Chains A and B, each alone.
Chain A
Amino acid sequence: MIQRSLTLFGGLFVLILVVGWVMGLPFTSSRLVEAAAYALIALGLNIQWGYGGLFNFGIMGFLMVGGAAVTFISYPINPDFWGSDGPMMLGRALLAFAIGALLVLAARQAHRVGITGKWKGALTVLAWFVAYVLYRSQLDPAAAYIESAGGGWVGGLGAHPVLGWLFGGVLAAGIAYVIGKICLGLRTDYLAIATIGISEIIRALIKNMDWLTRGTLTVSPIPWPTPLPQNYQAGGMDIASSLLLARAGYLVLALVILAAVMWLISRAYAGPWGRMMRAIRDNHIAASSMGKNVTARQLEIFVFGSVLMGIGGAMLVSFVQIFDPSSYQPINHTFLIWVMVIVGGAGNNWGALFGAVLLWLIWVISEPLSKAIFDMVSYWSTNVGWGAIPEIEARSAQMRVFVLGLVITIALRFAPKGLIPEVVKREG
């Protein structure tokens, strides 16, 4: 087992070297930083799916939440907004939200004053409706005001990006708690569809709440936690080495976080908590008859996994320095992560890590690779007299999706447990 893992990781290392040699160091160093962030996200999914057997298909939503969080924390302060009436109006909207929440909670407690059954249901629906109208009546003018006169959008807080990453984790945890409370009672396919639905709702909100996230106008440049290439260049360094040095700095920070997370979750897996989680995953009825609170434990693991996703999403956004809600797609940000974990090996952290780096490399090189193949075929077909392939650039960009589908199909067929499968220990 160990030998197989070492061989695979050795092969991955060689692949990285080859990519670095063919595509050049600047390209490869950026991809490695992104791979580290994706590894963090894949570990998050590995906790949820590999440890806990939870079917989370809403990864995109958590990545977007993380990205929005780091934008909010680390982007410079927008004085136009804070000097306008905007904060006041937003405060009123928040108050309306709180009143609405209280109304709904009160309606849910209506049985205490003797309103039960259908009447309670009707009252709850009415309370939701009133709360919604109340909130919209306060928020809509505030949003319109901020977007036109109040500085365009809320802006950031100007704090250190690492704080933003942490906030991304916290925000993702909060949202995961709400989603988990709602959905975790559902069985697997329902849970998958419900989480996809919720991540689409999150995407629609972030994309359209221009006052908070600037929506499709995008936010940039988002600061880095480590010195930028420009900082090195100001010190008189040439462009190539400043790029490398800056990315190396970012990569080291990402790897430190990745290593810490890896250490923590591997310990958790080996400990009693991990054993309990696996017991729940393999047979939740037996686990609950042993006195384990299945729902609470599943909620816990859903939140833990989502924290890693939020942090990973924040790291990605910080690295590319731009938060563009329209660049998020279910294929790139949910299915890709699933393929990483399944190909790598669900339930095995090294497997998830391996899958994340391997799949990210496959994802980024399949475009130039298919372009090269198309160019060759086109050259050949021109010589034969069939004419060249039209629009090679656009077509090879679409090949990534096909390659991803091919990889997952082959993996399910021939290595359903992944390349580095989970080691099931039998005691006694």
Chain B
Amino acid sequence: MTEIIFFINQVVISGLVLGCIYALGAIGITLIFGILRFAHFAHSELMTGGAFIAFLLASAFAAWGIVTPIPTGFVVLPIAMVLAAILALGIDKGFYAPLRKRGAKPVTLLIASIGVTLMVQGLIRLFFGAGSYSFFENEPKEIFRIDTSALGSTRPLVITEPQVLMILVTLVSVIALHFFLTRSRLGKAMRAMADNADLAQVSGINTALVVRVTWVIAGALGCMAGTMLALDVTLKPDLAFNIILPIFAAAIVGGLGQAYGAIAGGLLIGFAETLAVFNWTMLFRPLNAILPDWAQLPSTLALVPTEYKLTVAFVILVITLLVRPTGIFKGASS
């Protein structure tokens, strides 16, 4: 039983947390791709920028002496999401809208998004330096240790408070997004525009409004993902820049333009990364008692060494592109 609890601690919880963050990031990327037809690299900076906004708000709360029962990072999250959505709208207005108006190709927009990435990252580093910050300087990070000795385990089930909240918040926002996309008029308009932008326009859909709503959702969800990542680990200027490729991998594996695909892809990549570096001997160690001497399990039995954790996402990405370029859920192909 100890082994299974260990497996849950090492793989199920951390895979789920990672998967939630990837999924939230990938939803933004996939929506922008569906509506505006370009790969938005600067999404990493929306995430990092959102996390820094949340951090500033949390610091302000701490300075004002406001004490909250749950981590301050989660309390300020709604405000930070609004600000990040405004930031996303501003970036679109300032950098992408003029290019779109000129009729620039998606490739040009992609390069422009890299320019935005560099500028925002430069600004963040200018103001915050290259060091790392923690949301938990003024308050303790609560860790739940659930006693599982009743099940015959010597090890407790360990999960931190931010992780529990993170999974809940992701679940709520995914359900909210689902209802928005399927029930509301605007959500339906968004899906229509993702399917065929010209047809949507001639049937009287306000495409400019849809574009704005896309940026609002992308900015808000990006901020949520960035803040939660910063709550789980630490906040640093290259927080999301390092994981933007796994997020792209998640969006592509799920099928670009498909919001549900992005969620599935995010969880898939998250679990694949944790499973690939998991040391299987820890789980199957009890088998050593019944296995003959020549077939004893080696001390480490992981699919790939830990240093290569991030490459797992790329390998999955490349295989997906080769075998099924449209992703699991058939994504946009133009």
Contacts and interface: CB of A to CB of B under 8 A. Distances in A.
Interface of A: 55, 182-183, 186-190, 192-194, 196-198, 200-201, 204, 207-208, 331, 335, 338-339, 342, 391, 394-395, 398-406, 408-409, 412-413, 416
B328 to A, nearest CB: 15
B326 to A, nearest CB: 10
A201 B321 contact: no
Contacts of A194: 317-318, 321
Interface in B218-249: 245, 248-249
Nearest to A207: B307
Given A55-B107, A186-B321, A412-B99, A402 B129 contact: no
Pairs A-B, 9 closest by C-beta atoms: A402-B122, A405-B118, A405-B119, A197-B314, A398-B125, A408-B115, A401-B122, A189-B39, A409-B115
Nearest to B119: A405
Contacts of B317: 193-194, 197
Interface in B86-129: 95, 98-99, 102, 104, 106-108, 110-112, 114-123, 125-126, 129
Contact of B122 (A190, A201, A403): A403
A342 B311 CA distance: 29
B110 A204 contact: no
Contacts of B104: 412, 416
B6 interface: no
A409 B95 contact: yes
A194 B318 CA distance: 6
Given A197-B245, A335-B114, A408-B115, 19 more contacts: A188-B107, A192-B39, A193-B39, A193-B248, A193-B252, A200-B310, A204-B311, A208-B305, A342-B111, A394-B129, A395-B126, A399-B126, A400-B122, A401-B119, A402-B122, A402-B126, A405-B118, A408-B111, A412-B99
Which of B111, B119, B129 has the most C-beta atoms of chain A within 10 angstroms of its own C-beta?
B111
Contacts of B314: 197-198, 200-201
A182 B118 contact: no
A204 B106 CA distance: 30
Given A404-B118, A412-B99, A338 B111 contact: yes
Contacts of A400: 122
Nearest to A196: B245
A401 B116 CA distance: 10
Interface residues of B, number: 46
B112 A189 contact: no
Nearest to A407: B115
Nearest to B237: A398
A182 B311 contact: no
29 contacts: A183-B318, A183-B321, A186-B325, A189-B38, A189-B107, A193-B39, A194-B321, A196-B245, A197-B313, A198-B318, A200-B310, A200-B314, A204-B310, A208-B308, A342-B111, A391-B129, A398-B129, A398-B130, A401-B121, A402-B125, A404-B122, A405-B117, A405-B118, A405-B121, A405-B122, A408-B111, A409-B95, A409-B112, A412-B112
A105 B111 CA distance: 38
Contacts of B315: 201
B291 interface: no
A391 B315 CA distance: 40
A280 to B, nearest CB: 16
A416 B118 contact: no
A402 B119 CA distance: 4
B295 interface: no
B322 interface: yes
A6 to B, nearest CB: 28
A190 B321 contact: yes
Which of B106, B122, B249, B325 has the most C-beta atoms of chain A within 10 angstroms of its own C-beta?
B122
A107 B309 CA distance: 28
B110 A331 contact: no
B118 A402 contact: yes
A398 B130 CA distance: 8
Contacts of A187: 333
B122 A398 contact: yes
Contacts of A186: 321, 325
A405 B130 contact: no
B311 A405 contact: no
Contacts of B125: 395, 398, 401-402
A187 B119 CA distance: 27
A401 B118 contact: yes
Contacts of A408: 111-112, 114-115, 118
A55 B106 CA distance: 12
B35 to A, nearest CB: 14
Nearest to A53: B107
Contacts of B102: 416
Contacts of A391: 129
A408 to B, nearest CB: 4
A428 B45 CA distance: 50
A258 B313 CA distance: 38
B123 A402 contact: yes
Nearest to B33: A189
A293 to B, nearest CB: 21
A406 B322 CA distance: 36
Contacts of B111: 338, 342, 408, 412
Nearest to A330: B241
A404 to B, nearest CB: 5
A192 B322 CA distance: 14
A335 B308 contact: no
Contacts of A188: 106-107, 110
B110 A189 contact: yes
A201 B121 CA distance: 23
A399 B119 CA distance: 9
Contacts of B245: 193, 196-197, 200
